[in-house]
Chains A and B, each alone.
Chain A
Amino acid sequence: MFGYVRPPLQDLPQEETERFRRIYCGLCHTLGQRCGTAARFILNYDFTYLAILLSAGREGARHTARCIAHPVHGRTYLESDAAMETAADESVILAYWQLRDGVADHDWFHSLKYRGLSDLLEPAYRRAAAARPGFDESTRRQLRLLAELEAENCDSLDRAADAFAALLSGAAQEVDEPVRRRVLEQLLYHLGRWVYLVDAADDLKKDTASGNYNPVALRFGLTDGAWTPEARREFAATLDHSIHMMTTAFELWDFGVWTPILETTLYNGLFRVGKAVLDGTFQAAWRGEDRKKSTNVEGTT
């Protein structure tokens, strides 16, 4: 999806970052087993958080295996369970429809990339959609709604964000326990709202320059892509309200072994990412340098 939800590594002991890595690798293996090798390429942090939220709060059996990314030493990963299978299927459905969206949003030439990737993911998507028809249906509906709002240049932050937030909260629809479902729906709704808004803020300059739809620019009248102090304050307050809704929901369910990772992400990580996006430093500091430094970091873990 967007890559804004990440584990704040500096705030977590190594034991916890290792735990995060195990479920990350576990989800990758689950994607491969259930949906084929092509599906493994959609893996990202956002989907890992989905697997964490849907999991039963325990770590299952661990295995070690080599893979394309770790051909020499291999990695320990978590065995697949029902929650991870749900997360894998839902991730494939989300990734597929986002690629199809990319095809629709671009002209013939620029949509080639999206077309190629979505064709590659098509068989995986078919399997996942057959397993989760409800989620497939709600995802399509919400993305269609979002496209309509974009087409009509909707200037309501909340209406636009609601379409994406409701999509994400739909990921909890298969949870049986009613209290747990309420907690997850609320948490995922505001996670979706936060991600959508932060993404719009991150694209503010780019969108205003190219004339693309941007709900933040429309809501606050920021035609030149620069924040006014007033708009920035109001926008940060609305982000904080969503984070508050996430943390208050999070505290009402026992997430077991995942508690430290989720707690640190929700109470620290989201604020940091939001601040960096508002300061305009997110892209440069956290995306660009990821690529350069990844080899070093990879070597030390």
Chain B
Amino acid sequence: MNDPYQVLGVSESATDEEVKRAYRELARKYHPDNYHDNPLADLAQEKMKEINAAYEEITKMRSGGRGGSSGGYGGYQRGGAYQQYGQQSSSGSSVLQQVRIAINSGDISRAEALLANYSDHNAEWNFLRGAVCYRRGWMDEAKRYYQTACQMDPGNPEYRQALNFMENGTQQAYRPGGGQFSTELCGGNLCLPLCCLWWLCPGGWFCC
């Protein structure tokens, strides 16, 4: 295993408080909530395991090897349960259940093919279609399918949650040093913050 201090990005002489802070920052960054439905969620999960193991090891070393408890980070520890789609199809269709399984296992092409051949475009079909779009990076279409799913079945919390995430979900996303993750809410400072330092270098003037 890698050096646990290196994993957390702190020196061996760091205080307990510094170690804890570094751990919390990393845990926030790789938390399952930040990789909700993300096609790279499996890689984030690996990272999270590595960070948890490193923190646990440091805590154990520092407490002289006594006790295995690393203190109250249960929330991050098991954070687990990468938001998987319920295995049970809400409309009771076996095909849509297979779609869920395909999405959970990352086989988006299979999920797409199954949906294309399913003629009953009910609320669940729209929801799953949205999930497939999201995985593909088609964010606008994803939102529109979730919208349709919510209109057809307004009481369904799974669909509502997905739509909420598309509408406001990124505002809580991880950003170093805090601050809102949003184009509209960023400080619109216009005093040439991105000015072109090397305009006189060749190129640029016709590349637009």
Contact = CB atoms under 8 A, between A and B. Distances in A.
Contacts of A58: none
A243 B139 CA distance: 11
Interface string B163-194: 00011111101111000011110101110111
Interface string B111-148: 00000000000000000000001001111110100000
Nearest to A301: B197
B46 to A, nearest CB: 9
Interface string A203-239: 0000000000000000100000000000011101111
A140 to B, nearest CB: 19
Interface residues on chain A, size class:
35 or more
Main secondary structure of the interface of B (DSSP, over half): loop
B39 A272 contact: no
Interface string B85-108: 000000000000000000000000
A286 B195 contact: yes
Given A158-B140, A275-B183, A28 B202 contact: yes
A9 interface: yes
Interface residues of B, number: 52
Nearest to B187: A272
A110 interface: no
Nearest to A281: B190
B70 interface: no
Contacts, number: 187
Nearest to A20: B197
B207 interface: yes
Interface in A76-99: 95
Given A158-B141, A237-B167, A179 B43 contact: yes
Contacts of A248: 34-35, 38, 40, 44, 173
B137 A190 contact: yes
Contacts of A273: 194
A276 interface: yes
A272 B43 contact: no
> Is chain A's binding surface mostly helix, strand, loop or mixed?
helix
B61 interface: no
Contacts of A41: 202-203, 206
Interface centre among B35, B166, B199 (most CB of A within 10 A): B199
A241 B44 contact: no
Given A240-B182, A248-B173, 14 more contacts: A17-B197, A40-B202, A68-B202, A69-B198, A69-B202, A117-B206, A219-B140, A232-B184, A245-B137, A270-B183, A278-B184, A287-B208, A289-B192, A294-B200
Interface of B: 29-30, 34-35, 38-40, 43-44, 47, 133, 136-141, 143, 166-171, 173-176, 181-184, 186, 188-190, 192-204, 206-208
17 contacts: A8-B193, A9-B194, A11-B193, A40-B203, A41-B203, A43-B203, A44-B204, A156-B141, A182-B43, A189-B137, A238-B139, A248-B35, A272-B188, A272-B194, A274-B183, A287-B208, A291-B199
